[in-house]
């Protein structure tokens, strides 16, 4: 059976990846850059329902509120938005779309379906202009990594991609989630551009994810995986799925688990080919996908043809 077919069935292991990706994964385990010390147990065999309940009970979307040092000493409380992300929609959102940036979404004609959702989440610099037929043009929220804020090529300050949307930024912190260490040595210094942006655009909701939230997600992926996963933060895609599960009644995820259009084309908007974009090297992406596959409540045909997974929001499940 093909790798794709096995992925749809949730029946793959890292041993089936190409040797280059396997080597990269091994190297990340050896390096352990973020000093991960996992204290839990691996391979807990939860059912779909148990897994959803576990996520609902343990995952709290946490953003920096400026109340903890060193941010409190730097006066961040007056810089961060008054309402935390979790309180932005007091009634909650209805149906939400999470649009992955995978090349496989090209020629999908999913744009209209995506725009029909109440809210649409996109990632990093993924454009809609020129790709409307396949990815739609509505954007409610964007998750951006710290490179977007710091790399001048992305024109974070003036690009329209980052205007009129809710922004959620993140950066890998040590597993200990020691905020002092993180502030001194972020992967990319997102703190300065964040404050500058807040000063200039005080009415735009813009958050930085708390490292505790990110590593909490990592723990859950590892607990539910037999193999040792890369000791690096989950991908923006997985982070986004969990944020939307906490805000929406139902979450439709597009081209995370690849459709029949699967390709090594990394992004739909860029001519760059690398299987690592879909299967992971730095991020524990393959394991994230296996976990999401286990929670899918959509139909088989949607997965194969649209690359679509349907997940219930935390509000919609009873435990």
Nearer to ligand C5P, 124 or 204 (CB): 124
Nearer to ligand C5P, 80 or 230 (CB): 230
Q: Are strands 248-254 and 166-170 parallel, antiparallel or unpaired?
A: unpaired
Candidates 217, 221, 266, 303; binder of ligand C5P (CB under 6 A) is 266
Nearer to ligand C5P, 190 or 266 (CB): 266
Return contacts of 224-228, CB within 8 angstroms, 24+ apart.
224/43, 224/44, 224/46, 224/51, 224/291, 224/294, 225/42, 225/43, 225/284, 225/287, 225/290, 225/291, 226/42, 226/43, 227/13, 227/14, 227/42, 227/287, 228/29, 228/42
Nearer to ligand C5P, 216 or 235 (CB): 235
Candidates 114, 242, 277, 309; binder of ligand C5P (CB under 6 A) is 277
Residue span binding ligand C5P (CB under 6 A) among the ranges 5-13, 101-109, 161-169, 221-229: 101-109
Provide the terminal-to-terminal Cα distance of the chain, rounded to the nearest Å.
36
Does 278 help bind ligand C5P (rule: CB under 6 A)?
Answer: yes
Candidates 123, 162, 213, 215; binder of ligand C5P (CB under 6 A) is 123
Give the x/- contact pattern for ligand C5P in 56-95, rule: CB under 6 A: ----------------------------------------
Q: CA gyration radius for the chain?
A: 19
Does 97 help bind ligand C5P (rule: CB under 6 A)?
Answer: no
How buried is 163 (Cβ within 10 angstroms: 0-12 exposed, 13-18 middle, 19+ buried)? exposed
Binding residues for ligand C5P, rule: CB under 6 A, are 100-103, 123-124, 235-238, 256, 266-267, 277-278
């Amino acid at each position: 059976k093909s790798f794709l077919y096995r992925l749809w069935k949730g029946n793959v292991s890292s041993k089936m990846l190409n040797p280059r990706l396997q080597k990269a994964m091994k190297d990340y385990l050896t390096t352990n850059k973020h000093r991960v010390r996992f204290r839990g147990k691996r391979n807990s065999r939860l059912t779909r329902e148990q897994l959803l309940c576990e996520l609902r009970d343990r995952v709290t979307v946490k953003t920096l509120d400026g109340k903890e040092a060193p941010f409190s000493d730097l006066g961040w409380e007056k810089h961060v938005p008054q309402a935390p992300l979790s309180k932005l929609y007091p009634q909650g959102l209805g149906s939400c779309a999470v649009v992955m940036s995978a090349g496989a979404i090209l020629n999908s004609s999913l744009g209209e379906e995506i725009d029909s959702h109440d809210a649409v989440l996109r990632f990093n610099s993924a454009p809609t202009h020129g790709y409307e037929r396949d990815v739609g043009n509505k954007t409610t929220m964007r998750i951006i990594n710290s490179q977007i804020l710091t790399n001048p090529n992305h024109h974070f300050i003036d690009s329209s991609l980052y205007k009129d949307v809710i922004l959620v930024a993140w950066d890998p912190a040590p597993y200990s989630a020691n905020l002092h260490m993180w502030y001194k040595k972020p992967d990319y210094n997102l703190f300065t551009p964040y404050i500058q942006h807040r000063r200039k655009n005080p009415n735009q909701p813009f958050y930085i994810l708390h490292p505790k939230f990110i590593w909490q997600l990592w723990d859950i992926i590892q607990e539910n995986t037999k193999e040792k996963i890369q000791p690096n933060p989950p991908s923006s895609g997985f982070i986004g799925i969990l944020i939307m599960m906490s805000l929406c009644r139902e979450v439709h995820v597009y081209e995370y688990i690849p459709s029949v259009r699967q390709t090594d084309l990394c992004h739909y908007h860029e001519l760059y080919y690398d299987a690592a974009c879909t299967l992971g090297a730095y991020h524990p992406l393959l394991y994230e996908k296996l976990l999401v596959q286990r929670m899918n409540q959509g139909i088989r045909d949607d997965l194969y043809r649209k690359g679509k997974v349907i997940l219930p929001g935390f509000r919609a499940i009873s435990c």
